[in-house]
Structure 1
Amino acid sequence: MQLDPDTDLSFTRDLPIPPSLVWECWTSSEHIPHFFVPKPHKVLDCDIDLKVGGRFNTTFEVEGNRMENNGVFLEIDPERRLVFTDTYTEGWKPAPDPFMTAILDLAPLDDGGTRYTATARHRSAEKAKAHKEMGFYDGWGIVVDQLVDYAQGLGR
């Protein structure tokens, strides 16, 4: 995938959990609330219909404010790639002010772990800059740490 340095933010980490478990956590409404936003923020609700065009709707609590984030899945390649966006909502209804498209790439490592690459693609350099200034690298890094801690606690 060719990254655009003006509009794409991306990082890669090697995780000590298998791609199957990373995938399970990212694609289940049951698991998302345990890692998806940096603590102390919370996921209050998550509704997933795991199919291309299916909903990926989440409701967060951030500093006491309730935030709705509705989107759809664009690409689903089990245990390899998950792409979702808030550019559209279910039924391909365009969102009035989309923020990003997220791309998660998973690759198995020889030790049983996962090479995890998270990319956020934005419509403009301004949106990418705003996301970077909001703390993309720290925030998404915390999320992946929370994912690992949660997944390891599942005992699978």
Structure 2
Amino acid sequence: MTETLNELELTVSRKIPVPRQKVFDAWLSPRMMEKFMRPGGSDMTSTATNDPVKGGRFSIIMQDAGKNIPHAGTYLEIDPHSRLAFTWESPHSLDDSVVTIDFAELGPSLTEIRLHQVKFRSEAARDGHISGWTAIFEALEETLG
């Protein structure tokens, strides 16, 4: 049986040698988001705005080779230092796509981030998001390191 588009999902995780509070707070700071929300590497830039409260909105415009790629969403859950959940509006995901990020403290200076996203336009879009989130996690670790 073939997966329907609504059933497509992904999970990406990474251990970052940074305290959990610092990692969590980076996801709510527009200034920090601009530094790591660049899955295209150092050649890509981003601008970000947000209202980090439940029901608040965020916007991230990724710029790559002169092309603007808009991303936005609404915060569904903000559990300080433990979990974020938000809708994810991008050209490659369905309008009701949801991202959940769990932050686990593995030690005083070691955090595991586990990101789960559901609902994509296609398997290729899902696979592109796996690559994108993996690159974002790498940029996050570089930014916080």
TM range (shorter): 0.7 to 0.9
Pair 1:15 & 2:16 matched: yes
Query: 1:65-104 CA distances to partner (integer Å, 9 max, x unpaired)?
Result: 11222221011001110111136xxxxxxxxx61621111
Find runs of 4+ consecutive structure 1 residues off by over 6 angstroms: none
**Residue identity in the other structure for 1:146:** A
Shift in alpha-carbon separation, 1:52–1:17, aligned structure 2, 3 A: same
**Residue identity in the other structure for 2:123:** K
Higher strand share: 2
Q: CA deviation at 1:62?
A: 2.5
Unmatched runs of 5 consecutive residues or more in structure 2: 1-6
TM-score by length of 2: 0.82
Pair 1:145 & 2:138 matched: yes
> 9-18 or 136-145, which moves further after superposition?
136-145
Cα distance in 1 for residues equivalent to 2:137 and 2:96: 20
Show the counterpart of 2:82: 80
Unmatched runs of 5 consecutive residues or more in structure 1: 1-5, 88-96
Number of equivalences:
134
Q: CA deviation at 1:128?
A: 5.2
Show the counterpart of 2:44: 41
Q: CA deviation at 1:15?
A: 1.3
Show the counterpart of 2:124: 130
Quick check: 1:19–1:113 contact (8 Å CA) kept in 2? yes
**Residue identity in the other structure for 2:62:** F
Q: Percent identity between the aligned chains?
A: 25
Query: 1:99-150 CA distances to partner (integer Å, 9 max, x unpaired)?
Result: 621111101003531111011111x6xx25132332x333211111110111
